[in-house]
């Protein structure tokens, strides 16, 4: 499983990923359409804030926040956990384990290949954001703008790691679906997906500041929509890098332990 | 009619037995129900900390809408989605042929083929929430309003069921559509808010195109005694109309079913 061999396999893996995405495009589109929650919250909060700003958030700030939310969510979305638990259930995992390549790389490559397709979906949202009232609430700081892409990439990596780990938990039991639901509930709450983190009740907000969820979604949105000083920007980026490393380590540990329990059902 | 009732009871018994086989889930599902309830209530909590009332809805009234939302969602996740997943799998594998061969209406079998018995917790949670909201309001609802509220709850469930049957019919043409349930769920999520907090186009869409208002806002208004007769009749009529349309589309789809098994 040398690094050189993995690197050589990467272009092929990416090509397969693109082919998969194209083959299941209808399904893919439906998946993307299910991320309606930010739009609903957008409709709600803009009509609330149209009378008077809500705790410092104007209507334009909400537009900027939730459209950025939609963009980041669409670019970082991943279904690795579902894929892994399906493959374990159906026995297709055995095939994957035979390949001389770590499954993490294979899954990550296949999801990376979906990014261009996702970008096509995100583009109209971005255009709407730039011409809407939300544009006035976007940042113009060159530093923050420059960090948008790395920050989103890190958010994507953390998301991928978390879901890879949850998928690997499927080796230990059959109740992965329940775990994923619980995970999604926590994610919605603590990542800023449902509400901007500053609007959360204080006790929950404190947890949200430090747990990895914020760095999976809220971090790039904050860079896009809030005036931040140098220390805050550094805290966001370091937090993302730290959590990316920590979640990767955790995911690989869970995977390595789980793989010993693998019984190759149907394989 | 009796035969269909017996059939539904048998299928419920099988599902309940399957549910009992995983007793450990009991705790997990209970916890999940609580977690989801907290999640559902949190934005409401945040919103009403900053505002006394939004679009004519105060906190307890909006809580009643959420109560209806949780109740309809319990039916959705307890009966409708599991059966839908079952149907999609049958169409894909070709086992749907056997359903068609059975001497009862296929829609009846398909609609109640699987239950999630634990979702009864969500239903109870919804009831507790509505009672709590009326305690907060400081007065009990009048009996005729409770009656109308219940009738409209049934209408709301029927409207949702009809949308689901339409999706099910679509899966005859596009086989791999299991994630349509997620889409349905995501759209239904709007129903947790009174439709009046949305403006312009949004409100129009949520009232007439995807009638989530019919499922929660109008029944809640009926329970609060705020719904005029015209809207009440419109809601019931709309739900029945949707049911009829979905039945016709289903029959049309069945005629175009090309089996995957042979």
List the single residue in B46, B55, B176 with the smallest CB-CB distance to A195: B46
B102/A68: higher pLDDT? A68
A90 contacts B93 by C-beta, under 8 angstroms: no
The pLDDT of residue A266 is above 60: no
Residue B103: the pLDDT is: 74
A184 Cβ under 8 Å from any chain B Cβ: no
Residue A227: the pLDDT is: 82
List the single residue in A26, A37, A178 with the smallest CB-CB distance to B28: A178
B155 contacts B235 by C-beta, under 8 angstroms: yes
B133/A24: higher pLDDT? B133
- Residue A264 CA: distances (Å) to CA of A93, A101, A170, A237: 7, 18, 12, 40
Residue B21: the pLDDT is: 67
Q: Among residues A152, A128, A147, which one has the least CA distance to residue A42?
A: A128
Q: Among residues B10, B6, B12, B4, which one has the least CA distance to residue B105?
A: B4
A22 Cβ under 8 Å from any chain B Cβ: no
**Residues ≥6 apart with Cβ < 8 Å to A164:** A80, A81, A84, A104, A107, A108, A251, A255
Name the token pair of B42: 């949190």
Mean pLDDT for back-to-back runs of 10 residues, chain B (262 residues): 76 73 69 78 84 82 89 85 78 76 75 75 87 86 85 89 83 65 76 82 77 84 85 88 90 76 52
Q: CB count, 10 Å around CB of A1? A: 9
Tell me the mean pLDDT in the region A197-213: 86
Name the token pair of A207: 């947890």
The pLDDT of residue A267 is above 50: no
Identify from B85, B179, B194 which residue to disrupt to test chain A contact, counting A C-beta atoms within 10 A and taking the largest count. Answer: B179
CA–CA separation, A87 vs B38, rounded Å? Answer: 33
CA–CA separation, B209 vs B203, rounded Å? Answer: 10
A194 contacts B40 by C-beta, under 8 angstroms: no
Burial B55-78 (b: 16+ CB within 10 A, else e): bebebbbbbbbbbbbbbbbbbbbb
A135-172 pLDDT per residue, tens: 777 877 788 888 888 898 899 999 999 888 888 887 88
Name the token pair of B197: 């907090």
Cα angle B158, B164, B168; round to 5: 140
List the single residue in A34, A47, A199 with the smallest CB-CB distance to B186: A34
Identify from A20, A40, A174, A186 which residue to disrupt to test chain B contact, counting B C-beta atoms within 10 A and taking the largest count. Answer: A40
The pLDDT of residue A24 is above 80: no
List the single residue in A31, A41, A199 with the smallest CB-CB distance to B179: A31
Identify from A23, A27, A30 which residue to disrupt to test chain B contact, counting B C-beta atoms within 10 A and taking the largest count. Answer: A30
> Between chains, do B174 and A26 touch, taking CB under 8 Å as contact?
yes
Residue B23: the pLDDT is: 65
CB-CB neighbors (< 8 A) of A34 in chain B: 179, 182-183, 185-186
User: What is residue B79's DSSP assignment?
Assistant: I
**Which alpha helices (DSSP H) does chain B contain, by range?**
2-21, 25-50, 59-75, 81-93, 96-101, 106-111, 120-137, 143-170, 180-188, 200-204, 212, 218-224, 229-255
B18 Cβ under 8 Å from any chain A Cβ: no
The pLDDT of residue A241 is above 90: yes
Tell me the mean pLDDT in the region A103-124: 83
Burial B21-35 (b: 16+ CB within 10 A, else e): eeeebeebbeebbee
Residue B245: the pLDDT is: 92
User: What is residue B57's DSSP assignment?
Assistant: E
CA–CA separation, A114 vs B164, rounded Å? Answer: 29
Helix, strand, coil percent content, chain A, rounded in steps of 5: 80, 0, 20
> Between chains, do A178 and B29 touch, taking CB under 8 Å as contact?
yes
A174-191 pLDDT per residue, tens: 667 777 878 888 888 888
């Amino acid at each position: 499983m040398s690094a050189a061999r993995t690197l050589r396999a990467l272009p092929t893996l990416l090509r397969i990923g693109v082919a998969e995405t194209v083959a299941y495009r209808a399904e893919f589109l439906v998946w993307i359409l299910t991320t309606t929650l930010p739009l609903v919250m957008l409709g709600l909060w803009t009509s609330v804030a149209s009378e008077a700003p809500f705790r410092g958030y104007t209507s334009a700030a909400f537009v900027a926040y939730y459209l950025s939310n939609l963009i980041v969510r669409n670019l970082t979305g991943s279904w690795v956990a579902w894929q892994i638990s399906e493959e374990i259930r159906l026995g297709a995992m055995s095939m994957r384990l035979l390949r001389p390549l770590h499954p993490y790389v294979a899954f990550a490559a296949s999801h990376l290949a979906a990014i261009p397709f996702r970008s096509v979906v995100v583009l109209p949202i971005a255009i709407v954001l730039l011409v809407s009232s939300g544009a006035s609430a976007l940042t113009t700081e060159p530093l923050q703008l420059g960090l948008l892409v790395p920050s989103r990439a890190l958010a994507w990596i953390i998301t991928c790691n978390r879901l890879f780990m949850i998928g690997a938990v499927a080796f230990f039991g059959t109740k992965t679906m329940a775990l994923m639901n619980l995970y999604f509930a926590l994610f919605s709450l603590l990542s800023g997906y449902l509400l901007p983190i500053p609007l959360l009740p204080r006790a929950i907000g404190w947890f949200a500041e430090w747990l990895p969820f914020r760095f999976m979604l809220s971090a790039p949105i904050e860079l896009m929509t809030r005036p931040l000083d140098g220390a805050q920007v550094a805290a966001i980026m370091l937090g993302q890098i730290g959590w990316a490393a920590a979640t990767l380590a955790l995911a690989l540990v869970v995977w390595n332990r789980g793989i010993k329990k693998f019984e190759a059902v149907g394989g | 009619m009796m035969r269909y009732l017996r059939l539904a009871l048998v299928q419920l018994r099988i599902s309940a037995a399957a549910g009992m086989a995983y007793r450990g889930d009991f705790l997990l599902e209970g916890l999940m129900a609580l977690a989801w309830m907290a999640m559902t209530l949190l934005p409401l909590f945040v919103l009403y900390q900053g505002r006394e009332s939004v679009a004519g809805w105060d906190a307890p009234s909006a809580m009643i809408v959420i109560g209806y939302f949780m109740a309809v969602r319990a039916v959705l996740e307890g009966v409708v989605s599991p059966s839908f997943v079952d149907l999609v799998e049958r169409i894909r594998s070709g086992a749907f042929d056997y359903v068609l061969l059975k001497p009862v209406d296929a829609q009846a079998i398909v609609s109640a083929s699987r239950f999630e018995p634990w979702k009864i917790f969500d239903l109870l949670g919804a009831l507790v929430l509505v009672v709590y909201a009326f305690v907060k309001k400081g007065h009990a609802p009048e009996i005729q309003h409770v009656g109308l509220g219940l009738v409209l709850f049934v209408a709301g469930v029927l409207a949702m069921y009809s949308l689901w049957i339409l999706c099910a019919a679509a899966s005859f043409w596009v086989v791999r559509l299991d994630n349509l349930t997620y889409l349905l769920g995501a759209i239904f999520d709007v129903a947790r808010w009174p439709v009046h907090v949305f403006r312009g186009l949004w409100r129009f869409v949520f009232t007439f195109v995807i009638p989530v208002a019919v499922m929660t806002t109008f029944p809640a208004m009926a329970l609060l005694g705020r719904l005029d007769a015209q809207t009440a009749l419109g809601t019931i009529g709309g739900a029945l109309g949707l049911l009829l349309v979905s039945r016709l589309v289903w029959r049309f789809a069945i005629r175009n079913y090309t089996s995957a098994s042979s």
